[in-house]
Structure 1
């Protein structure tokens, strides 16, 4: 086979040499339908790029390669048929039918607009053998040029009387209509006057000497082998990947706004240094997969060069949209949740309105820097991030990331199925800013600024809609070292405290700095020291003591001991009826207790915490003992003092009885609360076993009696959903009241339980309506305070109702 370079119109010229004569094109029945008008995202992106490229070449727009647009090879044989006493030399393409169909539509559109459509021209003898409807539609186009005033081609065509209703079900016709609209849209981008510009375009399409759109035609001599050759040719390679489509579109788009040297830099590096960068991640992914297979465990997410490119570019384009404060630009229809393709978003971010668009120019600089910084300095991201960050841990060295799976944020970006979290995006953006030539901070300054940023974002609720506000603050912090609490976008109280911490470190010793960093790195604090006095004289000692007692295995004892120094509960709503104390198991509740609020509001927890730490330190210094023993002794001593004067308030019960403390929930309690009147009352002091009101509840004091009194053999666990069911003892129900306990039995209760209740009312002090009363006394003008331990009273009461006849200490 010998190839011939030609154009679409040139196919129909008088042949030279051994090239066969062609007077028409017929797509053979072995070919598939015309598919470039499909609606899926990948085909849409390819179609728009292809149509734009062809139209720009035809109309002479900027950015077209000097040698014109080449469309590779078109294979096919020429079959001679006799019709109406004439010989027709029909090209039957085996490969290239999609391109030939698009070229037919382009020439029909331009010729129509230019007013030169000749129905007898051989190039219009274009037909489909696949379906009669497609063949008739192509013939109808020959007869009906598109008027200049028609507007969108598909709307005009489908409104014509010659357009047959059954045609709407032909996928080839549907695709041809979509492609015509894409050609029309591309023409409108560059054509000021349709007819005049179309005339120029038609002249360019007719130019054989300097072809603007060309391909190589390879005639197949042996048509008997056509179908075999077709099958081989259509399985010879893979389809273009999404990245290859994106890359071609981006390279094309950047032609109009980059200098030639910059444009060549992009093209060269997409296939060179930038690919090498992500190839390292693909190699690492393959090794990890092989190791996982050998170990018989689930392999990590697979990383490919193309996938890594798309994920990293997706991150960069989203950053550009935030920099432009155009968060809605990613949506083509937000209400319908239709996003623009990444190609479209990249054009808007990096090209914008052209060379005069300063925002787009700034985005291009950032985009190129985000790739080149890892290549020009010869530093792979993995090595760079290993020097900057580490996962967890405390102490000197790389900054601990408290919520990330790995220190390499680029690696997370290109490999994670869920992508970067918003805090990780801000940290990666910060690192990219810090690597800008001429703006690099010193190593120590960078460490401080990244630490401050981590402190502000890792435990915060970062909102995507506010990312445009965060980015300028990140740049000011990382590049200029400035954090103005009044002119920044993060929590103002937290930012102000970070400035205070800077001042403390600058005026203190390395010991104080290390103590500050140790506290900031603690998982219960995560960067915010609002619950600690910023006192250089005491901070190192208190930080060391905090590290001893704030550990998971001591969390329950730590919470009990802290409550002995004061009511540190946090108001979380419902007119202070819902409050939070530290959970015995969930660290997150402690992080909320210790870090949410302002320095002023944190007085409620800072005072008790500092006193507790000083007490623990003093007891540890006094003699050989352990942190566990010290915390236990603090609670026991405090409870003994309360017992010595018969003072049993809600804090006593929570310190004395582990069963009254929150474990599986977030530490939320619900009940009547009045800080001026001693805090919580006794009735309805409920533990919420979760983070919201759809979780289960328990009465804290009943649960203490059930748990610590070992009542599981005689009573149901006092836990309910929505409706308070108290604690069931046979057919009776016990509930906590402000002055004691109510005991209720249904009307149809059996004689045995009725007798037990009657016996209780004879033995215990009861009210007129039958409540079992606990001894109380008033403390000033406040609410009455228990003067006997109601949990022990409840234990005796339940066992008495169960018929176990305890030795009553409380009688009428």
Structure 2
């Protein structure tokens, strides 16, 4: 079963037993330094998005009163490093994990045990060691005893803490909550040797002959026994033989610094086991907790002879692919998958952790090879990519994948259906009405593309070029109608429009319709439920270009675009903005289109308190905690930066902004009209009556700011 350090510590007290050696990863010899330089950056990468599997932890569990105490027999070094990492982050981030950390202790030396206790109880914070080494700060603590300087465990821990501090000090976001979460990126498998009637005697005997039995050797022996117990005697012998020869050759290019095939093989084995498990609808927790080295789980997965055969077949077919880089490179040149590492096989066996889309893509490659349908891969991958990336959900204007364990088995069925069809991928799509794992709307988009490809082959390359744009990622929800109408001519226009500042695009779109998208509600001024709207923006291009409900807007826009086309995209957009702003001065959209400063930031999120009264706030971030300002005021400030104080005009939280001049006087909008404080209001209103006719609110504001700066109190 997969564990994190936190949940292992919550389940057991961990005592490093007397028979264990000193903490070696903190030594100062060249080998230990090399280990730290490799290991700690891996820990840092893990909390930044690259999960780390810490392999097996072996030990025995003994009851002592109400507690269960785990005595690690293999894994002491890794557990100690994880303890130090958790202590450091708990201290740095002022967390509350200290009480749990007290469940970790050493029995090897009383000095080490006491040092750990004092370390956990210490109350210094990051500011205490901003100049000195962390180890020196600890050595200078009153509780640090002189004799501890001669304890190799303690000296090793201090060396490791300095390395951890060097790597992690620059991380500004809080990392400890991630390590304490169920989705912790640093995991390991734990085996209680008592369950296998093994214990300290095994550990001592193994060390007596020079080395401990590795976790991989344990796995190999146990899986061979499992195959034998299931009646697969022939496969048991084959497994051992192929692992020593054929499969070793398969894994050899990926052995890494460890110089063994252990980890690469276990990674591919776990993946294949997960395929069998998913297709047989085994319990979800196996998949989610990656319990593919648990022999009880493997017994269920491989109890059918066909499952064992599938394991051998997959390893055989990948052994026969001579140049895997070429396979992945060529197919993805024709159908980019928008993944960092094109060679998914390499990524899988080296890291062991792949995303759900990558898992589906690798299954697609595997099944195509097994069925002798390699020629189908480019078209198949394109269609599967498009469908998979549209399994998503929108939250606050941003799309995230909605792939779940429950989706995977049906999606595997869909892949098999498309591969096993005697027809081409696009002909198959024309013939089917539904596809497991995907919505009818999503399938219908691919069916329309298939119709277009089969009836208008001249548009095929243009279609592929369009949907291969990263922002679209195969999703033509908003552009299918326009593409069918304008074909190849649409592609370069869309490419350039996606690449330029989206403020210009949004202003042109807004001439067609008030398309603002409701994100939620915020408190502003006198109202608790003010609508918060999104228009797109540089940070939310995907929303603007792929949200299905905007398809009619885009069709209308491109009709307008092609009827008003100029020599460049920017010129055409500006022409639309200049000539097609038909909104009245009393409508907010008139100002959003006319004044480019309003759509100048990458977020393009606004809170509407009372739209008709122009009580609107433009957010610099995503929530009211960010700085915000009424966009009308911002437009005035942009016209008169020397007479306005922009910093004083912008506010935070639920306060309405005001337009503040450099003289400290303020004006603001009420009921869509400019006003100011009572001491200037009389003269201000007289001037407003003279200067407000026939001009918009921004133009009025420009004149009134000039006036107000020179006004004296009534």
**TM-score category (smaller protein):** 0.5 to 0.7
1:407 equivalenced with 2:342 (yes/no): yes
Query: Out of 596, 600, 619, which is 1:658 matched to?
Result: 596
Query: Residue 519 of structure 1: SS of its match in structure 2?
Result: helix
Query: Residue 387 of structure 1: SS of its match in structure 2?
Result: helix
Q: Confirm or deny: 8 A CA contact 2:506 2:536 kept in the other structure.
A: yes
Query: Residue 741 of structure 1: SS of its match in structure 2?
Result: strand
Cα distance, 1:728 vs structure 2: 5.0
Residue 248 of structure 2 is matched in structure 1 by 275
Q: Confirm or deny: 8 A CA contact 2:336 2:468 kept in the other structure.
A: yes
1:381 equivalenced with 2:328 (yes/no): no
Q: Which runs of 5+ in 1 are unaligned?
A: 1-29, 35-39, 48-129, 131-177, 185-214, 216-229, 287-301, 391-397, 620-624, 674-679, 746-753, 767-772, 776-786, 806-812
Report the CA distance shift for 1:689/1:536 in structure 2 as closer, same or farther (over 3 A).
closer
Residue 577 of structure 1 is matched in structure 2 by 531
The Cα offsets for residues 240-272 of structure 1, whole Å up to 9 and x where unpaired, read as: 443333232222212233644333332122222
Residue 372 of structure 1 is matched in structure 2 by 316
Q: Confirm or deny: 8 A CA contact 1:321 1:329 kept in the other structure.
A: no
- The structure having more radius of gyration, on CA atoms, is 1
The Cα offsets for residues 612-659 of structure 1, whole Å up to 9 and x where unpaired, read as: 44246x43xxxxx333333223322335x77xxx74632221222122
Give the distance between the partners of 1:718 and 1:477, measured in 2 at CA: 60
Give the distance between the partners of 1:407 and 1:314, measured in 2 at CA: 20
Give the distance between the partners of 2:260 and 2:634, measured in 1 at CA: 55
Query: Out of 343, 348, 356, which is 2:297 matched to?
Result: 348
Residue 633 of structure 1 is matched in structure 2 by 575
Query: Residue 669 of structure 1: SS of its match in structure 2?
Result: strand
Residue 723 of structure 1 is matched in structure 2 by 654
Report the CA distance shift for 1:32/1:698 in structure 2 as closer, same or farther (over 3 A).
same
Q: Confirm or deny: 8 A CA contact 2:667 2:677 kept in the other structure.
A: yes
Query: Residue 685 of structure 1: SS of its match in structure 2?
Result: strand
Give the distance between the partners of 1:313 and 1:180, measured in 2 at CA: 26
Cα distance, 1:516 vs structure 2: 1.1
Query: Out of 430, 433, 437, which is 1:489 matched to?
Result: 437
Query: Out of 255, 271, 275, which is 2:228 matched to?
Result: 255
Query: Residue 500 of structure 2: SS of its match in structure 1?
Result: helix
Cα distance, 1:739 vs structure 2: 1.8
Residue 559 of structure 1 is matched in structure 2 by 506
CA RMSD across the alignment:
4.1
Query: Residue 687 of structure 1: SS of its match in structure 2?
Result: strand
Cα distance, 1:506 vs structure 2: 1.0
Q: Confirm or deny: 8 A CA contact 2:617 2:629 kept in the other structure.
A: yes
1:421 equivalenced with 2:355 (yes/no): yes
Give the distance between the partners of 1:590 and 1:180, measured in 2 at CA: 56
Cα distance, 1:451 vs structure 2: 0.5
After TM superposition, the structure 1 = structure 2 runs for residues 129-208 of structure 1, keeping only pairs within 5 Å, are 182-183=196-197
Report the CA distance shift for 1:362/1:685 in structure 2 as closer, same or farther (over 3 A).
farther
Cα distance, 1:416 vs structure 2: 4.2
Cα distance, 1:721 vs structure 2: 3.0
Report the CA distance shift for 1:796/1:366 in structure 2 as closer, same or farther (over 3 A).
farther
471-480 vs 574-583, which deviates more?
574-583
Query: Out of 544, 547, 551, which is 1:596 matched to?
Result: 547
Query: Out of 683, 701, 704, which is 1:797 matched to?
Result: 704
Cα distance, 1:534 vs structure 2: 4.0
Report the CA distance shift for 1:671/1:372 in structure 2 as closer, same or farther (over 3 A).
same
Q: Confirm or deny: 8 A CA contact 1:571 1:578 kept in the other structure.
A: yes
Q: Confirm or deny: 8 A CA contact 2:332 2:342 kept in the other structure.
A: yes
Cα distance, 1:609 vs structure 2: 3.3
Cα distance, 1:521 vs structure 2: 0.6
Residue 308 of structure 1 is matched in structure 2 by 264
Give the distance between the partners of 2:647 and 2:416, measured in 1 at CA: 59
Residue 273 of structure 2 is matched in structure 1 by 317
Q: Confirm or deny: 8 A CA contact 2:385 2:474 kept in the other structure.
A: yes
Residue 683 of structure 2 is matched in structure 1 by 759
Q: Confirm or deny: 8 A CA contact 2:536 2:544 kept in the other structure.
A: yes
Query: Residue 716 of structure 1: SS of its match in structure 2?
Result: helix
Query: Out of 629, 638, 653, which is 1:707 matched to?
Result: 638
Give the distance between the partners of 1:348 and 1:428, measured in 2 at CA: 23
After TM superposition, the structure 1 = structure 2 runs for residues 39-118 of structure 1, keeping only pairs within 5 Å, are 42=56, 44=58
Give the distance between the partners of 1:549 and 1:415, measured in 2 at CA: 38
The Cα offsets for residues 526-556 of structure 1, whole Å up to 9 and x where unpaired, read as: 1111212447763423433434532433433
Report the CA distance shift for 1:471/1:368 in structure 2 as closer, same or farther (over 3 A).
same
Q: Confirm or deny: 8 A CA contact 1:757 1:801 kept in the other structure.
A: no
Q: Confirm or deny: 8 A CA contact 2:531 2:608 kept in the other structure.
A: yes
Q: Which runs of 5+ in 2 are unaligned?
A: 1-16, 22-53, 62-107, 109-191, 393-400, 522-528
Query: Residue 489 of structure 1: SS of its match in structure 2?
Result: coil
After TM superposition, the structure 1 = structure 2 runs for residues 439-450 of structure 1, keeping only pairs within 5 Å, are 439-441=371-373, 443=375, 445-450=376-381
1:464 equivalenced with 2:404 (yes/no): yes
The Cα offsets for residues 191-215 of structure 1, whole Å up to 9 and x where unpaired, read as: xxxxxxxxxxxxxxxxxxxxxxxx9
Residue 113 of structure 2 is matched in structure 1 by none
Report the CA distance shift for 1:737/1:251 in structure 2 as closer, same or farther (over 3 A).
farther
The Cα offsets for residues 659-690 of structure 1, whole Å up to 9 and x where unpaired, read as: 2115232x3333269xxxxxx54523333434
Normalized per residue, the structure richer in helix is 2
Give the distance between the partners of 2:349 and 2:613, measured in 1 at CA: 55
Give the distance between the partners of 1:672 and 1:303, measured in 2 at CA: 64
Give the distance between the partners of 1:579 and 1:604, measured in 2 at CA: 19
Cα distance, 1:387 vs structure 2: 1.9
The Cα offsets for residues 381-411 of structure 1, whole Å up to 9 and x where unpaired, read as: 3222112114xxxxxxx21122x11211122
Report the CA distance shift for 1:687/1:41 in structure 2 as closer, same or farther (over 3 A).
same
Residue 674 of structure 2 is matched in structure 1 by 741
Q: Confirm or deny: 8 A CA contact 1:385 1:407 kept in the other structure.
A: yes
Give the distance between the partners of 2:470 and 2:232, measured in 1 at CA: 50
Count of aligned pairs: 506
Q: Confirm or deny: 8 A CA contact 2:507 2:592 kept in the other structure.
A: yes
Residue 689 of structure 1 is matched in structure 2 by 620
1:671 equivalenced with 2:608 (yes/no): yes
